[in-house]
Amino acid sequence: MSSTIAWLDDVHDLRLTSEGLEDLSFNTPLLIKGKKQNFSVHLVGIEGENTAKFHVEEPLPLGEELSLHIEGKRFRIYPRNIIRTNWFEQNYTNMDIELGAICTKDETKFRLWAPTATSVKLYINNNIMSLKKYEKGIWQVEIQGDLHGMTYEYELFVNGEVVRAIDPYTKALLANSEKGVVVDLKRLKGFTKIERNYHEISALNDAIIYEIHVRDATISEKSGVREKGKFIGLAETKTTTPNGFSTGISYIKDLGITHVQLLPINDFARVNELEPEESYNWGYDPLFFQVPEGSYSTDVLNPLTRMEECKEMISAFHKEGIGVILDVVFNHVYIREESSFEKIVPGYFFRYDENGEVSNGTGVGNDFATERIMARKFIVDSIAYWLQEYQVDGFRFDLMGSMDVETIKAIEKRCQKEERPIILLGEGWDLPTALRYELKTTPDKAKQLRKVGFFNDLFRDSLKGQLFSDRDLGYVNGGGCFVERLPHLITGSVLDEYGIPFVSEPNQSINYVECHDNHTLWDRLKNTNPTDNEETRKRMHQLATGITLLSQGIPFLHAGQEWFRTKHGDGNSYISGDTVNKLDWEKREVDAENIEFIRKLITIRKKYRVFRLRSKDQIRKQIHFLKVQPPILGIFY
């Protein structure tokens, strides 16, 4: 195997694989040539067949043309593993600088972090401008004039290749993520001051979360919504079925929900934005994190429309007194090799294991390296952007267990700057990612993250059976099995007298029995209890949802759960289409009686503070369990 490239793996380590290296000796003259100066280097030894390791005397400047010279032969030097070292983090990162295209009527500043690139060019409306390199890998150019609405992308020379990449900080896109678009945010239509009605939400466990997908919510022909499947469709009020039953945002308000949690609404893959009706996706294939999804826009050819209509939807929820939580997917990207992160700084933004292989704890081919400084910066900057520009009220972190604790702490700190209460929650599963366990955001770290909620899988599995065993039984469908766990679950899973605490504070337990993932509760009950009649399964379903709503912690409902939502047995409907995923508003009519039952439970929870106690001491003082015959559970408040 021959090569003309020498790879810089650490501040003093250089490796070269090429034919003929076995003839090298410690006396062979060696030299590294740079643009401004030369550097000393000497042979350390031969590693395996045709691979030599060299020692560099002093740190080499990254992002410059460097070459290793051996007896008349010239080998280009490019950074490899060095970009994942502490030395690199200390010398080539900048948490404070604002990145992206910062646009006003008079000028636009383009800033890109690309420390290993040797040149960066800006293509702006087919004109080409060169960026100047500054300290710590920042490239910048300022262009006078009004560039609002112009398309742009970057061309970089990095590791010997010319690549085209869209700015990861872009705020707008052409259809199907073809190019970034410059935006003067001050000229967007949308809210300036939010009409809110948050007097009822004085603490996080006052929240009642309702998980919904923008397209699912209104795509049904019976939804009564004009702009079906769109941001502004979900903003329409006073919509009804043909028989006059409320739908959409009006229905959600009538139910008593305090916060909707939207499945990812940032730009994602697998849906052709020009013909969205031909494909479907939940949104867990992220492309660009600061741009709303184009398939939810009524005019994807206008890059600003999706931004303005997304704001209109959020504003509509706020006017109804409902907060908006975004489901965000910072744990991976759709395709690593095609992402702007990998093109701009190869090897930096993704996690690698000890063998130098790309980590895949998320199961989708890559793990975003949240622990690296500029990766963390991007995440925190994105959170701040959605808080400021779109005025959202919380974030749900997909596969949060693959994210590092320090990044979640930084997010928590940023959110505490807001005057309104910001809800943070996530999946704290311990995933096999290449991150030390003590750094992962798992429930045992709850003491370090007092304002972060964790999905309570013990609560879920105790009530309906172990998730990944389709026939496993729980309390509601197994004749009262696991009744001994209920005192622990109902008291927020925080009191050690009832079990090993799941989290530190009661407002950190996200209680649920159903979400977008896996089978709906109704479909699971059909699997686990096939011989029971429909009425019996409905009673089981009511019991599970009732315990969810009246337990300490934060209750979480999946949209349609209150009317026994079915996905017709599909346990992984992420691309299954509207027929499977749409909210069936006709079924909302059929099961109106159960909806009323759920509405009354929500009213009870909101009316009586005993169901929303703030601390472990309050729970101990006010909740007592009676001695009754199992599987009955007796509670005295």
Cβ neighbours for 392, distance < 8 A, ≥ 6 positions apart: 314, 324, 325, 326, 386
Return the beta strands (E) in 254-346 as ranges.
Answer: 259-262, 266-268, 286-292, 323-328
142's tokens: 């300022």
Query: Which residue in 578, 547, 580, 583 sits closest to 563, CA to CA?
Result: 583
Residue of 371, 427, 444, 523 with catalytic role: 427
Question: What is the residue type of 27?
Answer: N
Question: What is the residue type of 328?
Answer: V
How many helices, marked H, and strands, marked E, lie in the chain?
A: 16, 30
182's tokens: 């410059």
d(CA 152, CA 323): 34
Cβ neighbours for 283, distance < 8 A, ≥ 6 positions apart: 213, 263, 264, 265, 266, 268, 293, 327, 329
Query: Which residue in 342, 344, 289 sits closest to 139, CA to CA?
Result: 344
| Runs of H (alpha helix) within 418-556 | 457-464, 486-490, 521-528, 534-550
Angle made by CA atoms 60, 65, 67, in degrees to the nearest 5: 75
d(CA 223, CA 246): 9
d(CA 219, CA 236): 13
Q: Report CA torsion sign: 342, 345, 346, 347.
A: negative
Element (H, E) at 14: strand 13-17
Residue 600 has a CB neighbour count (10 Å cut-off) of 12
215's tokens: 């397209």
> CB-hemisphere CA count at 13 Å for 21?
25
CB 106 within 8 A of CB 100: no
Dihedral of the alpha carbons of 539, 545, 546, 550, in degrees to the nearest 10? 170
Query: Which residue in 204, 79, 135 sits closest to 506, CA to CA?
Result: 204
* Residue 393 bears catalytic tag: no
Residue of 206, 216, 320, 398 with catalytic role: 398
CB 392 within 8 A of CB 259: no
CB 259 within 8 A of CB 244: no
Query: Which residue in 66, 69, 46 sits closest to 58, CA to CA?
Result: 66
In the sheet that holds 30-33, the strands lie side by side as: 38-39, 30-33, 67-70, 73-79, 5-8, 13-17, 51-56, 41-46
> CB-hemisphere CA count at 13 Å for 588?
24
d(CA 49, CA 169): 43
Whole-Å CA distances, 135 to 67, 114, 139, 167, 350: 22, 11, 8, 19, 23
187's tokens: 């000229």
* Residue 167 bears catalytic tag: no
| 3-state DSSP assignment of residue 141 | strand
What is the set of active-site residues? 398, 427
